[in-house]
Chain A
């Protein structure tokens, strides 16, 4: 099953490589990983998307907790949570396609953030499946380039991950 794990860790050089190293050395699956400093500059927050049986995911959270620089770990999938991913996509947009693509971006609540006479660059946020759906809705040959951040997640309501 797919799990989305959030963690807070000391914002120190090398902390990221400990997490990445853990996943590769123990053979855990890693779908995406995003990380940046939090409002407290001494802490980084990481969101990891992984897949595995319950036993494996239990080991993953235990092993993450064991890393000396990791302060807190939660499996967001254990409860209600919100997930978002950002995608930037550059598409070929000429003549009558321009209107069609703009409409499609509107339907998906994307924004066109750069324009040339041959292309649009669209910014789109949402769950991974929404981004997938957008990619599916656009003609394959029109896609020039895409970049996705991987998921970030946060608990709903009173669920707070803080030190």
Chain B
């Protein structure tokens, strides 16, 4: 007879079997048996955060920067509700996570027990799937399924809720080798007939555009995409989530598109005759007003693994449901053997047009300013790290400047919350990135408002010696909010001023880190260099930046892509 293990031990053994090296969590009554088992082993290393939201963001940063499933552990009730923001953040950006939550004992469920919440109910709209394990016999298979569902198809967070008594009961442990579910069979191969149609459209294009998103990053298809784009000689744009999918320093890259995208990317998007969308979901921040988008006639090919991403906001002509790597392989193969070639004369003319748009120099800013310009800090950060750092960000103007001015040549280097836009994401995500990439340089670009939403994690960083570099673009405003108020609310800056700010230098020091305050443009480069030299220390750089700076270009709400406000 095999020995019986407790539910808690089974949980930990499952994590070991899945090759989980780091688990981000916070203890409490309902998960004490699980913590007890974690204590007895050292394969799965537990990282103690200071707030459950940060546990999930850290697991998320870990996943985004590594292509592994991120794992978090939280207790019932407030542990779960604190985690919800993190879960929703991961859900909106399709990040593979497994969240294990404790629950009150099965016999107490439904009785308003101490620290009871309906976890499955609360998280249902923001997970790919969730489970409540009521029977210990199902625990191991459920955890196996959770990892499988989280990481296949369109990835996403999966939550497993484990009642305390289930973690205490015992049963024989068998970890299934594989899972098969009749109700869940994600496709990977694209329909060959559809791919042929796509090839025809691509070859016939006179003003082509390749628009790619998070799907390229999530499926590790950046090198295939680069092959395709170079082979065709077409312009390529990335969404905020797709940055690094195509090398930003390449001449065929026209920059990010969308609300704060470049003039050339948005104009090319609007005026192209064939649009190839790959792993991108036509978000409202990307195409602006759909009516305006369709004032222009174009054919659209859309490759996405999730059928519901296709023709959701924008009707497409050639939908291809499949995984990016599989579909691109097929597409490249067909293009290589095709005797037809793209119309080079037309494409040259198209590039001439694009170069005219480029000449508009939409990202220009006052480089001679006596006050630190935020854009300049990002450019210096790029120089100081030679473009090789992992950059996480919070949400606001600083996020947009980081996206516009740090030229990402590699995938999984740009880690930000796009879909939910969660302030507070940057610091804990950076912790997860650093755990996944112990040798990598990791910087968190943030604002004085965002950083205060998870500032307590400076303590976690101290405990685990995480040498993060925090780049605080301190404009004493919720800049992004202020910018909207300036343009759309008659300069009435309602509650967007950040008053009573802490002294960030002293704050960093009190947590045991290095703090720097930088007030002169001439000091920016030196400060960054010095910070990155401190290889084993967290450095908090408080850059006092121009309060009035705005992010341009900007497509105002309800307007079309080509109706940008420019500097």
**Chain A positions near chain B (C-beta within 8 angstroms):** 9-10, 13-14, 17-18, 21, 25, 55, 58-59, 62-63, 65-66, 68-71, 163
Contacts and interface: CB of A to CB of B under 8 A. Distances in A.
B489 interface: no
B121 A68 contact: no
B125 A68 contact: no
A10 B182 CA distance: 9
A66 B308 contact: yes
8 contacts: A9-B183, A14-B120, A17-B124, A59-B312, A66-B306, A66-B307, A71-B183, A163-B182
Contacts of A55: 311, 315
Given A14-B132, A55-B311, A58-B311, A69 B125 contact: no
A153 B181 CA distance: 26
A59 B308 contact: yes
B307 A68 contact: no
Given A17-B124, A68-B184, A63 B308 contact: yes
B311 A18 contact: no
A77 to B, nearest CB: 19
B358 interface: no
A21 B124 contact: yes
A68 B124 contact: no
The list of the 7 closest CB pairs from A to B, nearest first, reads A62-B308, A68-B129, A71-B183, A62-B307, A25-B125, A68-B184, A63-B308
Contacts of A63: 308
A69 B312 contact: no
Given A14-B132, A55-B311, A70 B125 contact: no
Interface string B128-145: 110010000000000000
B90 interface: no
B120 A21 contact: no
B303 interface: no
A25 B91 CA distance: 15
A68 B308 contact: no
Given A55-B311, A62-B307, A71 B124 contact: no
B478 interface: no
B149 interface: yes
B168 to A, nearest CB: 22
A17 B128 contact: no
A65 to B, nearest CB: 7
A69 B392 CA distance: 35
Contact of A69 (B183, B308, B315): B183
B128 A68 contact: yes
A103 to B, nearest CB: 49
Nearest to A14: B120
Given A65-B308, A68-B183, 18 more contacts: A9-B183, A13-B132, A14-B132, A17-B124, A18-B124, A21-B124, A55-B311, A58-B311, A62-B307, A63-B308, A65-B307, A66-B307, A68-B128, A68-B129, A68-B184, A70-B183, A71-B183, A163-B182
A43 B312 CA distance: 29
Contacts of B182: 71, 163
A163 to B, nearest CB: 6
Contacts of A71: 182-183
Contact of A17 (B121, B129, B306, B312): B121
Contacts of A21: 124-125
Contacts of A17: 121, 124
Contacts of B315: 55
A63 B306 CA distance: 10
Which of A9, A25, A59, A66 has the largest number of chain B CB atoms within 10 A? A66
B539 to A, nearest CB: 43
Nearest to A18: B124
A63 B128 CA distance: 12
Nearest to A25: B125
Contacts of A25: 125
A68 B312 CA distance: 20
Contacts of B149: 68
Contacts of B312: 59
Nearest to B130: A14
A13 B110 CA distance: 14
Interface string B296-313: 000000000011100110
B553 to A, nearest CB: 30
Contacts of A70: 183
Nearest to B131: A14
Contacts of A18: 124
A37 to B, nearest CB: 15
A66 B125 CA distance: 13
Interface in B302-336: 306-308, 311-312, 315
Nearest to B125: A25
Interface in B146-179: 149
Contacts of B129: 68
Interface string B83-125: 0000000000000000000000000000000000000110011
